[in-house]
Chains A and B, each alone.
Chain A
């Protein structure tokens, strides 16, 4: 075409970014890679080809890690860890700063290599992935610097096994490696098999930065290598980003191992457009929501909810906008959508879309490149929540849409999902936006924007989207633990006896939904004192009692919406009423435990109630310093319904230490009382009854922990399960929790001194941080 021709057609023409330097780097490495272990690349071994998904060309040959490779990587990390932690915050900060600088110096090389390897448009790798990865290292250099002063009482977990996905290869590496290193951990990282090249370039950068040997180890390979890491006894923590299915497997596989775990999994994030929104901007937002990275984004706004009155117009505008998306060579600077990361991924998307016959499917009629993994931007309107494509993650450039009538219905539809990663809300009405954002079941909410990320703002999900946060102070929890060595907790058996009771017979019951309830099964168990005297009968709760208690707890959701002041008042009132019966409770505890700890335990329990009441309105959120004009608010939200196996050894104090901070934060609890000494808990519900605690907020069950734990841990409407039982049920609970990926907090057979105050730890476990991004501006 001549200049004159182009003057008439006004086509963009090609604008290719050169791949020469990236290809030269691959050649310099011999086009073959081993693993990066203990500061050096291993000899390349048997493996697989890494291909450019846009062309199908082989970029390099990678090595499939063997068990020996993983063992060597873990051993190197283990050996390096104490020294790395001892280096101190400032020492580590210098290394992280150097890594950030080197990422910046080689920014274009990383960007081009990422695009070659993954197929994403060069615009995205250049303007989004790589800058965010740099930012993550800078930010966490700062966290390393501040660790000594700001995180006293916390220390590194040890060796972290990190398994990352193929959609943001370097960025996910940064999200995993930077906080781990900052806190004094060492890592064994496995990039996704299709997209390992930028991780290997990062390994090269680690060498250049003079990072001590063994601090970062990178092994390549498929899911089998991931399993070796997950199962490795020398690893203290697993961090995984990927599919919900694999996340569930990892949860089950690590159950009872004592490994810390964070999972960042799939999503089906709602994108809600109200009728007063700036529709054109909302449509542009959708481009960044579902056609960013070809839709292969865990937090993609993939479920469009439009208010009914504007739906037709909005969809028309959207279809028109889709027509101008440019699909093709990802190295072209004017390309909006590149190639999907892999042929299997392409086939999965095709199958899902083709199997749907409902609604109206609109595919952009684009000229797709003949070679490579391309799928056109697609919109399916007229679906309802019951349709499979409205429920299942497609993980591609396919948007599904439905309508709603009212804000309340928007929330209902938005939350009608197993997932809970992100949500987007478009409205010009600040009242509506700030009302809706907290109601959405998601870890991140964007108002009038979408897919905003920053190292300072926590990112992570709820429900099947996983647990743990990445970024911000909250992200550091996932890479630290309290200092000190845990002591083992011996099982505490109930006393046996054959004595008789004296006085008028009392019948302790279960406490469910604010009412005393007989156990569904109709069985009770005799409870004896140390001398064998019969103290009473405790009901034996069954599956159905758990079902009823959870239902009552779920029904008491108004508790979370009540004011913190009110919750504090009720906690003080519980303390007041407990105090007036202190001697009775002390005597009961003494009789149950056969010790003289009762009076002390009651007094401490009253303190705990005061502490929880005090915190109820003081666990403030934060406003994060993110680089936009706007605010990113980190809000503490209650986890929801928490099931807890209460400590056996401190029958009243243990239960209250767990209950009080949890309900202070707005949670509802199902408490399984001390197994050997349950009668303090059954006395306690009388205190609750007289303290204005709304029905269902606290539910108390008695019975064998081992019988109750599996039901509680597998119940899909329970959001978290904790165990402080002296029966070590950690493995059972963690395995069963995989069903709905509920949060677990188990003792792994370790003791906790309940005379010490753990309120803060309980509150942390009882809350999720939701980040709400609100960009603003007028003018």
Chain B
């Protein structure tokens, strides 16, 4: 068994390497950012055919995917009991006998992600597991509540014990090209997070173009985001490979320019084990292995785990699996 601080170290970037302090807003850089949609789509479309992982490698990669999952419940009918059940799944994401067969005992998910009011039960339920609690914040998902309340919400969530805060940006700042406002907003959110690790949700499905996604990514990193994240899961289009390509290329540029590694979290729409492998290979190809750790990469997903469990059982037994054979979260 790991002790709590050791495990959290592997999950939070600020504990494993210098945290992104942000930088002055560099509008020249922002304005030169380009994203050619059709070329990006071609790259995204051919990637699954260019990389393939099989057998033990596939099993290991699927375990890696599990370790990077932000197991999420963001529903109006969430209760302490519901969150407790999810946290139990977070601690034991895969049946013990399967993990034993794989030699992967002790595998947990990356974090549990909840609304503010569910932080306390989550923290309680995860005590001793080392699994961080992430809270969505700032008037999630629309981010249109009064600004001071959005900031206050962050502070409350940190106080309640959240290790990670997933904020939503004001899409209107992107859509109107008010980059200064976006930068200021993000900087304020980051300050409010204090030592908690902040993920900036861009809501890419609402930004109109991949170029806007590239520019918003850069702004949020300049303003000190620890992670940039695609979506709330509530937009009609959530994480896609093209959007991911644009965001992680922005992360790469930011690292090349500043030396700081920012994490990436695609969220929403990733529900198949095979998709998770493609995402991992995309990260490996574009950012390198260092980003294939939960401190720099997370899946925001609720149903992905179930499909991975079935694939892992198939790997262990050679027979196709059924969902009822795996404990629910």
Contacts and interface: CB of A to CB of B under 8 A. Distances in A.
Interface of A: 1-7, 9-15, 123, 126-127, 276-282, 284-285, 324, 333-334, 336, 426, 428, 448-449, 628-630, 775-779
A723 B265 CA distance: 68
B57 A11 contact: yes
Given A127-B49, A285-B39, A15 B208 contact: no
B308 interface: no
A448 B36 contact: yes
Contact of A324 (B41, B53, B285): B285
A333 B211 CA distance: 32
14 contacts: A3-B103, A7-B64, A10-B280, A10-B284, A12-B52, A13-B53, A13-B54, A127-B46, A277-B36, A278-B39, A426-B36, A428-B36, A449-B39, A779-B37
A777 B37 CA distance: 6
Interface string B43-83: 10010011111111101110110010000000000000000
Interface residues of B, number: 41
A301 to B, nearest CB: 14
The secondary structure that dominates the A interface is loop
B246 to A, nearest CB: 9
Contacts of B103: 2-4
A426 B102 CA distance: 47
Contact of B52 (A15, A276, A282, A775): A15
A4 B39 contact: no
B34 interface: yes
B40 interface: yes
Q: Tell which of A6, A10, A14, A630 has the most Cβ of chain B within 10 Å.
A: A10
B174 to A, nearest CB: 14
B42 A449 contact: yes
B322 interface: no
Contacts of A281: 35-36, 39-40, 43
A5 B59 CA distance: 11
B38 A776 contact: yes
Nearest to A15: B52
Contact of A279 (B34, B57, B209, B280): B34
A114 to B, nearest CB: 16
Contacts of B40: 278, 281
Contacts of B210: 778-779
A3 B60 contact: yes
A629 B38 contact: yes
Contacts of B67: 7
Nearest to A776: B38
A13 B55 contact: yes
Contact of B56 (A1, A278, A779): A1
B43 A284 contact: yes
A778 B102 CA distance: 44
Q: Tell which of B57, B208, B280 has the most Cβ of chain A within 10 Å.
A: B57
A628 B39 CA distance: 11
B134 interface: no
A4 B106 CA distance: 11
A333 B52 contact: yes
A778 B56 CA distance: 40
A336 B284 CA distance: 15
B292 interface: yes
Given A7-B64, A12-B53, A277 B285 contact: no
A10 B39 contact: no
A428 B34 contact: yes
B39 A7 contact: no
A447 B93 CA distance: 47
A2 B59 CA distance: 10
B34 A778 contact: no
Given A277-B34, A428-B36, A10 B64 contact: yes
A777 B38 contact: yes
Nearest to A775: B38
A538 B283 CA distance: 77
B190 to A, nearest CB: 26
The 5 A-B residue pairs with the shortest CB-CB distance, nearest first, are A13-B57, A6-B60, A281-B39, A775-B38, A278-B36
Nearest to B37: A777
Contact of A123 (B37, B49, B284, B289): B49
Contacts of B49: 123, 126-127, 333
A5 B64 CA distance: 11
Q: Tell which of B49, B211, B284 has the most Cβ of chain A within 10 Å.
A: B49
